[in-house]
Amino acid sequence: MKTHIVLLSCLYLPAILCYSSGEETNSAKALRLGAFGKPAVSTRHVTVYPAPENEVLNTKYKVTADGQEVSVYDIKVASGSEENRIKAREDIATSGNYFDVAGMAYFDLRSGPVTVAVSVEVPIAKARILPESLGITPEIKGETLRFNVDKPQNLTVEINGESVRSLHVFVSAEETDIPDVNDPDVVYFAPGSYRLPAAEIEDGTTVYVAGGAVVHCYIGPHEWYTINPVTKQKNYDKFYMFDLNGKNITFRGRGIIDQGGIPTHSRRIVRIHGEKIKLEGVIFRDPSEWAIDIQNSTDVTIDNVKIIGYRAQTDGIEINSSSGVRIENSFIRSFGHPIVDNQSTNIVDKNTVIWDLNRTDR
């Protein structure tokens, strides 16, 4: 019998774990970091998710949507210096030392159009909203620009020619059918900050990461590991933060999964191994290595998933010996291959934004 842990902060109490008894199919243990989340704020047009109190927020950009303040997170991205990128590629162990810092904001669109405002501390001479194929032209006035969005989309805002330390704005559809926190088949991360080493997720389970939740991966001091003969890095026995192994598994929400606190190449974020598995809506920040590793699977959907990585060989999505994989409405900014297909069939990629540092026609 395994213990199934549902993580709640509805009452914002110091206790962090609620246990349900009975036969369980999942194992997950997490520690709240002492920073409790704040409830989402909804207007007629948007829902915004305040960041947990201990999160490092970006000071360069200020964002509002429909007049509501939107939290802007710091995110590490691959360095804008070609010299530093070469160093990062050549020495995986130190690749985490070479980065720039961009901004990231997210909210849900309940109905549109809605006005998004972005402010900086210097006058804005020029700006563009990417992808340019969307045809969004901002209105600029002083230190603020404004533009309208009328549908879910993953955008990048470049101000005064700043393409590397840019601002990513992820606009999702309004969430529906939110899982019940009391459902024994749900692993539920409510708004707040958590530490989680690794979790095995099996048949019929939903992992839900609410907007305003940040789940930080950590590695315990006594975890067993081997040394990778190629990279010379430690590969831990629990090589996946979330190991989705089975059928009818869903991993969804609006929150953030973060691996910024663990060594490079020590643990991947998600493995998918099975059938009828869906990832939807979550944000993967600073993967240690590959973000999503799909192995020998069928009927897999990756919808509106955002991946931002900067360390060497942090591929976005690896598809290995699988069939019936659909990737759509997603965003990938990685310092590796965005999507890799190895001996797989029936792969569909639709409406996914791939951010490439080496291109100017994004």
Phi, psi values for residue 317, rounded to 5°: -130, 120
The encoded tokens of residue 187 equal 């692993």
Q: Which residue, of 173, 206, 236, is where some domain finishes? A: 173
* Separation CA 174–CA 45 (nearest Å): 10
Tens-digit pLDDT profile for residues 298-337: 999 999 999 999 999 899 999 999 999 999 999 999 999 9
**C-beta neighbour count of 327 within 10 angstroms:** 25
Contact of 340 with 315, CB cutoff 8 Å: yes
Q: What is the CA radius of gyration of the chain?
A: 20
The encoded tokens of residue 218 equal 């950590």
**Chain mean position to CA 129:** 21
Contact of 71 with 49, CB cutoff 8 Å: yes
The encoded tokens of residue 48 equal 């915004």
Residue 204 sits in the same domain as residue 329: yes
Tens-digit pLDDT profile for residues 255-265: 999 999 999 99
Per-chain mean pLDDT for the chain: 89
* Separation CA 266–CA 288 (nearest Å): 6
The encoded tokens of residue 303 equal 């919808």
Q: How confident is the model at residue 356 (pLDDT cuts 50, 70, 90)?
A: confident
**C-beta neighbour count of 303 within 10 angstroms:** 17
Tens-digit pLDDT profile for residues 138-165: 999 999 999 999 999 999 999 999 999 9
Q: How confident is the model at residue 228 (pLDDT cuts 50, 70, 90)?
A: confident
Residue 164 sits in the same domain as residue 185: no
Nearest Cα to 31, choosing from 17, 51, 46, 45? 17
Nearest Cα to 26, choosing from 317, 251, 335, 325? 251
Residue 168 sits in the same domain as residue 186: no
**Which residues, other chains included, contact 267 with Cβ-Cβ below 8 Å and sequence gap of 6+?**
198, 217, 219, 236, 238, 239, 240, 241, 259, 288, 289
Amino acid at 31: L
Q: What is the CATH number of the domain that holds 125?
A: 2.60.350.10
Q: Over 90: is that where the pLDDT of 242 sits? A: yes
Q: Over 50: is that where the pLDDT of 17 sits? A: no
Residue 309 sits in the same domain as residue 337: yes
Residue 93 sits in the same domain as residue 159: yes
Do the domain assignments include residue 360? Answer: no
Q: Which residue, of 173, 190, 212, is where some domain finishes? A: 173
Residue 169 sits in the same domain as residue 186: no
Nearest Cα to 171, choosing from 139, 146, 149, 191? 149
Q: What is the CATH number of the domain that holds 240?
A: 2.160.20.10
Contact of 78 with 88, CB cutoff 8 Å: yes
Do the domain assignments include residue 46? Answer: no
Residue 124 sits in the same domain as residue 19: no
Do the domain assignments include residue 309? Answer: yes
User: Across residues 46-61, what is the average pLDDT?
Assistant: 95
Range of the domain at 318: 4-37+179-354
Q: How confident is the model at residue 19 (pLDDT cuts 50, 70, 90)?
A: very low
Do the domain assignments include residue 44? Answer: no
pLDDT at 14: 26
Dihedral sign of CA atoms 122, 125, 130, 135 in order? positive
Split into its structural domains, the chain has a count of: 2
Contact of 317 with 268, CB cutoff 8 Å: no
Residue 194 sits in the same domain as residue 316: yes
Q: Which residue, of 157, 173, 189, is where some domain finishes? A: 173
pLDDT at 132: 94
